[in-house]
């Protein structure tokens, strides 16, 4: 059995992944801004650095896997925070832990979104991928919230795909899941925001499988992708969305 670190493991999808991995007998360290083994604010460079140091210490440099799940939704008024947590809070943690991950041929899972392919501001995505946080945050401030959210997830997925070869060369498998609408505190906050509530209800009604996702749906996919059963799956983005992506983009894959 191994040791996993999960960011955002205090709530929603991350908490469900934690439960699933613990149920399989693994040790799980939660990194979160609240209710966590390692309390850290992943929106800041300092918080990311502290998290990396704390994970190294708590695991004694033995890490079997990493799940970067911490994220904030489009309802957050501070749009720079969406970029800071969703993209940099994930990518900088993975990069910082890369030597440990290589030591144990670890598996990394990023939590993206099925909104990642949606149209967004390409300059925002470019700034994220260029690791230019100041510029990305400045561009985010000029955009609507939804394309900031989807753009953060688009960049995250592109970063994962473009780095998966180099990571694989170090025996690290990286994959992502793209959850569709999933019942969590984050989605409840977006659903209750008057800007989005009507559109979200229509969106939920249009999910082909006929129900919204549950955090456990994401945990099942996460458990599989992290495990040896998925040892030949690398650089993949698995939509776990009740068929929504296939419905919306049938010819794009
Ligand atoms: N719920 C959905 O419908 C949905 C759909 C697609 C993708 N996602 C993604 O799934 C992930 C988990 O979302 P969720 O729905 O479970 O939300 P959630 O709000 O239940 O959980 C998010 C977790 O991230 C933590 N977090 C937020 N800001 C942080 C910070 N600055 N530093 C450290 N931790 C921080 C929160 O404390 C919380 O525990 C997010 O990345 C989200 O974008 C969710």
Beta carbon of 242 within 6 Å of any ligand 1 atom: no
Report CA(70)–ligand 1 centroid distance (Å): 5
Ligand 1 atom with minimal separation from the 212 CA: 3
10 Å CB burial of residue 43 (0-12, 13-18, 19+) is: buried
Q: Note the pLDDT of residue 150.
A: 98
Q: How far is CA 138 from CA 141, 142, 147, in A?
A: 5, 7, 14
Q: DSSP letters of 149-202?
A: HHHHHHHHHHHHHHHHHHHHTTT-EEEEEEE-SB-SHHHHHHHTSTTTHHHHHH
State the pLDDT confidence band at 243, using cuts at 50, 70 and 90.
very high
The per-residue pLDDT for range 75-94, each reduced to its tens digit, is 899 999 999 999 999 999 99
pLDDT given for residue 3 in this prediction: 97
Task: Indicate if the pLDDT at residue 186 is higher than 90.
Answer: no
Q: What pLDDT is stored for residue 80 in this prediction?
A: 97
151 vs 153: CA distance, rounded Å: 5
On the question of pLDDT at 135 being above 90, the answer is yes
| Residue 133's pLDDT band (cuts 50, 70, 90) | very high
pLDDT exceeds 90 at position 115 = yes
Asked if pLDDT for residue 234 goes beyond 90, the answer is yes
Domains of the chain and any CATH numbers: 3-182+214-242 (3.40.50.720)
149 in active site: yes
Cα of 147 vs centre of ligand 1, distance in Å, is 17
Instruction: Output the six-digit token pair for 71.
Output: 């994220």
Pick the atom of ligand 1 nearest to 85's CA. 31
pLDDT confidence of residue 192: 86
Residue of 71, 190, 192 best suited for mutating to test ligand 1, as the one with most atoms within 8 Å of CB = 71
pTM recorded for the entire structure: 0.97
Summarize pLDDT for 3-43 with one digit per residue, the tens.
999 999 999 999 999 999 999 999 999 999 999 999 999 99
Q: Say if residue 194's pLDDT is above 90.
A: no
Report the nearest-CA residue for atom 14 of ligand 1: 12
- Residue 34 is predicted with a pLDDT of 97
Cα of 187 from ligand 1 centre, angstroms: 9
Percent of the chain with pLDDT over 70: 100
């Amino acid at each position: 059995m191994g040791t996993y670190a999960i960011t955002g493991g205090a709530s929603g999808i991350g908490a469900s992944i934690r439960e699933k991995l613990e149920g399989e007998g693994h040790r799980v360290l939660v990194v979160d801004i609240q209710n966590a083994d390692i309390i850290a604010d992943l929106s800041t460079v300092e918080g990311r650095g502290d998290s990396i140091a704390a994970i190294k210490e708590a695991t004694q440099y033995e890490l079997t896997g990493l799940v970067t799940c911490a994220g904030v939704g489009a309802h957050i008024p501070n749009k720079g925070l969406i970029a800071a947590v969703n993209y940099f809070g994930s990518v900088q943690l993975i990069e910082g832990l890369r030597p440990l991950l290589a030591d144990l041929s670890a598996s990394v899972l990023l939590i993206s979104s099925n909104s990642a392919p949606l149209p967004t501001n390409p300059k925002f995505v470019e700034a994220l991928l260029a690791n230019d946080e100041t510029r990305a945050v400045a561009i985010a401030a000029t955009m609507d919230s939804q394309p900031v959210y989807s753009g953060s997830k688009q960049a995250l997925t592109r970063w994962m795909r473009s780095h998966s070869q180099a990571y694989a060369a170090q025996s690290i498998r990286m994959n992502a899941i793209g959850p569709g609408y999933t019942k969590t505190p984050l989605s409840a906050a977006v659903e209750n925001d008057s800007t989005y509530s009507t559109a979200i209800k229509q969106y939920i009604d249009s999910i082909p499988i006929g129900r919204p996702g549950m955090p456990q749906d994401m945990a099942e996919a996460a458990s599989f992708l992290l495990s040896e059963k998925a040892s030949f799956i690398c650089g993949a983005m698995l939509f776990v969305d009740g068929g929504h992506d296939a419905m919306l983009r049938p010819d794009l894959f």
